[in-house]
């Protein structure tokens, strides 16, 4: 049985990722890309589906762990009756190859360690062919994939598992390097683990050292930024929603989705987080990925793409995996890629407007693409869609979707006016006014006293917390205040925010946890409303939900006090960064976006020019 979701830590090389349990087992590892088939899939089944365990043998150990400050290098300390060791886990930033390196260092006494490696390609389905190379390294081959294991430890095969035992004394170190390569390529020479450790530490500290943020929440912000960088596909600039698939929104339920893709919806929040912390290179790479992915016919715009911008991510199920704690099915791909979700037009136009305001390079082709997309939006904005929560039931006229369609037109008008771009401004202004009237008339329910989930509904929805954040209405408007109050009354549970009321449904059975990004959005509303102490209390409550190494999942179960959903979740960490900046700065992201002001008029000296 896998560990609890919160008991995992993240390793990554900015092209793929691994999850390491509290006890030292790598239970999830996809190679060569984030969205490739897993060779360690115990997270969604058991050890027989692939894992790499490294821990003291024959004794119970006290365990504590941490990341080295300002890095993605994990240190797990095992203390036994016979001594203490530290397990150092990391992935060097990819250069000539991709590697997972594990170093066991003796701290005190003598500790006997046990090694167990079960590699199963294609999500636990395929057993590799194992051979020993002339230099003693082990080769694991399956189809197009080869893994090479380098270590001085003598290992043996038992029941299709590679095992071994060794003793580490104080002052000694034992290294293990697992490297990925194409099965047809020439086997390279082994890399030096200690030199790779030094280089990896320099990379992460150098990268996060560029951050401009300071203040009482800077440690939490830095850890979230490192997590976001680790979830960035370095060759393209695309930022992953999460490195996992099918971690459930309810244990035993069917709300299990593949999140190893890039969502257009996250665009503005991501750009704000990166630009507000002086990571302009990442902001520019993300904007460029966005333009490439969205290019093409306007009516073919998807809500999500692969890390390289590939379209169409068909969804299928893995029958041989039982799922995390029997939460089936396990899904690969995401059928939401085929849905109409109007809000992504708003996010796309918003992010390109913010990029221009922040003086990121936006080529002329970018405006031509916007014109084509807006022309298409003018034809479809009245249609029902599947909304921000990607429902699998019947389409509806979701209020948030309509508001973001309005945002698309509004930001295009602002870009055209501010940057002197050719546009049908008279037509757009009339459309913007017509859309605003329609939303205020049909999306606001006078009986409820709030903007509701969809036209004609009485249900409230946390997505309406975004209305003042995008500048649709000022936070001082009585309708916005009423919406915040309705969400407080009807969606708050144990101080955290649900996405929507249970009876609202989304086409699937079963409940879910508290959606963490929604709670950060409520804190942002409190900041705009001048309720800063309430915002601070809610934010600090959310900080206590992070696991021992500072990571957040998508959702939180307030009853069983555990993480739910895919992990770590980029949107949760993006929301953390932006809310922290709202509290740490007078002009934070919430006010910048609500008032449509540039958040990057001045660059730090170390930012690219």
Please state, for a pLDDT cut of 90, what percent of the chain lies above it: 78
> ω before 16 within 30° of 0 (cis)?
no
What's the number of CA atoms in the CB half-sphere (13 Å) around residue 69?
3
Please, what is the Cα angle at 444 between 440 and 445, to 5 degrees? 145
What average pLDDT is seen over the chain? 92
pLDDT (0 to 100) of residue 594: 75
> 596 or 31: whose pLDDT is higher?
31
* 603 — pLDDT class (breaks 50, 70, 90): very low
The pLDDT of residue 362 is above 70: no
pLDDT of 523-536, one tens digit each?
999 999 999 999 99
pLDDT of 84-134, one tens digit each?
999 999 999 998 789 999 999 999 999 999 999 999 999 999 999 999 999
On the 0-12 / 13-18 / 19+ scale of CB atoms within 10 A, 479 is middle
The pLDDT of residue 298 is above 90: no
pLDDT (0 to 100) of residue 364: 60
Which residues have CB under 8 Å from 129's CB, separation 6+?
140, 141, 142
Judge contact between 308 and 236, C-beta under 8 A. yes
C-alpha to C-alpha distances, 507 to 133, 249, 395, 503, nearest whole angstrom = 53, 14, 10, 11
pLDDT (0 to 100) of residue 510: 54
What's the number of CA atoms in the CB half-sphere (13 Å) around residue 399?
29
The pLDDT of residue 578 is above 70: yes
| Separation CA 67–CA 65 (nearest Å) | 7
Helix (H) / strand (E) containing 142: strand 138-142
> 557 or 292: whose pLDDT is higher?
557
| Separation CA 406–CA 308 (nearest Å) | 29
| Separation CA 421–CA 439 (nearest Å) | 28
What is the mean predicted confidence (pLDDT) over 47-71?
Answer: 95
pLDDT of 22-55, one tens digit each?
999 999 999 999 999 999 999 999 999 999 999 9
pLDDT (0 to 100) of residue 307: 94
Which residues have CB under 8 Å from 476's CB, separation 6+?
none
C-alpha to C-alpha distances, 575 to 220, 276, 371, nearest whole angstrom = 12, 13, 30
| Separation CA 538–CA 496 (nearest Å) | 8
| Separation CA 99–CA 38 (nearest Å) | 15
Judge contact between 89 and 74, C-beta under 8 A. yes
* 606 — pLDDT class (breaks 50, 70, 90): very low
The residues facing 132 across adjacent strands are: 138
The pLDDT of residue 420 is above 70: yes
The pLDDT of residue 589 is above 90: no
> 332 or 282: whose pLDDT is higher?
332
Distance of CA 45 to the CA centre of its chain: 22
pLDDT (0 to 100) of residue 266: 85
pLDDT of 465-513, one tens digit each?
999 999 999 999 999 999 999 999 999 999 999 999 875 555 555 578 9
The pLDDT of residue 308 is above 80: yes
Please, what is the Cα angle at 526 between 525 and 528, to 5 degrees? 65
Closest C-alpha to 223, from 550, 562, 603: 550
Judge contact between 339 and 386, C-beta under 8 A. yes
Pairing outcome for strands 450-451 and 444-445: antiparallel
Question: Phi and psi for 262 in degrees, rounded to 5?
Answer: -110, 125
The pLDDT of residue 602 is above 50: no
pLDDT (0 to 100) of residue 503: 59
Which residues have CB under 8 Å from 427's CB, separation 6+?
none
> 283 or 376: whose pLDDT is higher?
376
Going 527 to 529 to 533 to 538, the CA torsion angle's sign is: negative
* 598 — pLDDT class (breaks 50, 70, 90): very low
The pLDDT of residue 354 is above 90: no
Full 3-state SS string of 471-512: CCCCCCCHHHHHHHHHHHHHCEECCEECCECHHHCCCCCCCC
Tokens of 122: 């294609």
Full 3-state SS string of 299-352: HHCCCEECCCCCCCCCCEECCCCCCHHHCCCCEECCHHHHCCCCHHHHHHHHHH
| Separation CA 538–CA 521 (nearest Å) | 10
The pLDDT of residue 601 is above 60: no
Which range in 201-215, 337-351, 551-565 is most confidently predicted, on average pLDDT? 551-565
Tokens of 515: 């959606």
The residues facing 237 across adjacent strands are: none
pLDDT of 202-252, one tens digit each?
999 999 998 876 688 999 999 999 999 999 999 999 999 999 999 999 999
Helix (H) / strand (E) containing 364: helix 364-380
C-alpha to C-alpha distances, 594 to 208, 582, 597, nearest whole angstrom = 28, 12, 8
C-alpha to C-alpha distances, 547 to 5, 8, 244, 350, nearest whole angstrom = 9, 8, 17, 33
What is the mean predicted confidence (pLDDT) over 283-305?
Answer: 87
DSSP state of 156: E
pLDDT (0 to 100) of residue 283: 87
Q: Crossing angle for the helix pair 343-357 and 267-276, nearest 10 degrees?
A: 20
Please state, for a pLDDT cut of 70, what percent of the chain lies above it: 95
| Separation CA 32–CA 119 (nearest Å) | 14
3-class DSSP state for residue 448? Answer: coil
pLDDT of 421-473, one tens digit each?
999 999 999 999 999 999 999 999 999 999 999 999 999 999 999 999 999 99
pLDDT (0 to 100) of residue 195: 96
Pairing outcome for strands 262-263 and 304-305: antiparallel
pLDDT (0 to 100) of residue 361: 64
* 265 — pLDDT class (breaks 50, 70, 90): confident
What is the mean predicted confidence (pLDDT) over 551-579?
Answer: 96
> 96 or 386: whose pLDDT is higher?
386
Question: Domains plus CATH for the chain?
Answer: 5-205 (2.70.98.10), 209-594 (1.50.10.10)
Judge contact between 358 and 283, C-beta under 8 A. yes
What is the mean predicted confidence (pLDDT) over 273-280?
Answer: 88
* 605 — pLDDT class (breaks 50, 70, 90): very low
| Separation CA 451–CA 470 (nearest Å) | 15
């Amino acid at each position: 049985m896998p560990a609890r979701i919160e008991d995992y830590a993240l390793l990554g090389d900015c092209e793929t990722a691994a999850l390491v349990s509290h006890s030292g087992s790598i239970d999830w590892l996809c190679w060569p890309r984030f969205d490739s088939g897993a060779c360690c899939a115990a997270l969604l089944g058991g050890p027989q589906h692939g894992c790499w365990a490294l821990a003291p043998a024959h004794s119970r150990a006290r365990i504590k762990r941490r990341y080295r400050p300002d890095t993605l290098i994990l240190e797990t300390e095992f203390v036994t009756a016979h001594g203490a060791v530290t397990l150092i886990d990391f992935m060097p930033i990819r250069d000539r190859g991709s590697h997972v390196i594990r170093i066991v260092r003796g701290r005190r006494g003598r500790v006997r360690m046990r090694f167990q490696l079960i590699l199963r390609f294609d999500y636990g389905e395929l057993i590799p062919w194992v051979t020993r190379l002339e230099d003693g390294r082990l080769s694991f081959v399956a189809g197009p994939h080869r893994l090479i294991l380098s270590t001085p430890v003598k290992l043996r095969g038992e029941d299709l598992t590679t095992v071994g035992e060794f003793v580490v004394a104080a002052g000694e170190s034992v290294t293990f390097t697992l490297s990925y390569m194409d099965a047809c390529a020439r086997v390279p020479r082994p890399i030096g683990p200690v030199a790779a450790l030094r280089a990896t530490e320099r990379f992460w500290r150098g990268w996060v050292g560029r951050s401009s943020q300071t203040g009482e929440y800077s440690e939490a912000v830095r850890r979230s930024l490192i997590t976001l960088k680790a979830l960035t596909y370095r060759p393209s600039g695309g930022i992953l929603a999460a490195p996992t698939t099918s971690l459930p929104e309810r244990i035993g339920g069917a709300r299990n989705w593949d999140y190893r893709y890039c969502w257009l919806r996250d665009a503005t929040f991501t750009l704000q987080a990166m630009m507000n912390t002086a990571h302009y290179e990442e902001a520019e790479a993300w904007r460029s990925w966005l333009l490439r992915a969205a290019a093409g016919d306007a009516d073919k715009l998807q809500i999500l793409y692969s890390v390289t911008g590939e379209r169409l991510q068909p969804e299928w199920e893995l029958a041989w995996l039982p799922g995390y704690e029997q939460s089936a099915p396990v899904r690969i791909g995401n059928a939401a890629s085929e849905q109409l979700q109007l809000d992504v037009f708003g996010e796309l136009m918003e992010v390109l407007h913010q990029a221009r305001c922040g003086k990121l390079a936006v080529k002329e082709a970018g405006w031509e693409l916007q014109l084509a997309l807006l022309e298409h939006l003018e034809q479809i904005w009245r249609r029902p869609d599947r909304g921000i929560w990607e429902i699998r039931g019947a389409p509806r006229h979701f209020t948030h979707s309509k508001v973001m369609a309005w945002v698309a037109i509004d930001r295009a008008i602002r870009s055209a006016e501010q940057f002197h771009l050719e546009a049908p401004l008279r037509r757009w202004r009339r459309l913007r006014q017509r859309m605003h009237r329609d939303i205020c008339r049909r999306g606001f329910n006078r009986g409820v006293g709030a903007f509701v989930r969809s036209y004609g509904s009485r249900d409230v929805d946390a997505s309406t917390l975004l209305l003042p954040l995008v500048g649709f209405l000022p936070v001082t408007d009585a309708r916005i205040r009423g919406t915040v109050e309705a969400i407080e009354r009807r969606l708050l549970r144990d101080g955290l925010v649900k996405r929507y009321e249970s009876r609202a449904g989304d086409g699937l059975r079963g409940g879910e946890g508290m959606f963490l990004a929604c709670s950060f959005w409520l804190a942002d509303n409190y900041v705009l409303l001048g309720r800063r102490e309430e915002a601070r209390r809610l934010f600090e409550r959310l900080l206590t939900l992070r696991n021992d190494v500072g990571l957040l999942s998508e959702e939180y179960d307030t009853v069983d006090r555990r993480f739910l959903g895919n992990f770590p979740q980029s949107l949760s960490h993006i929301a953390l960064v932006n809310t922290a900046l709202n509290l740490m700065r007078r002009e934070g992201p919430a006010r910048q976006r609500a008032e449509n002001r540039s958040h990057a008029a001045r660059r730090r000296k170390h930012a690219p020019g």
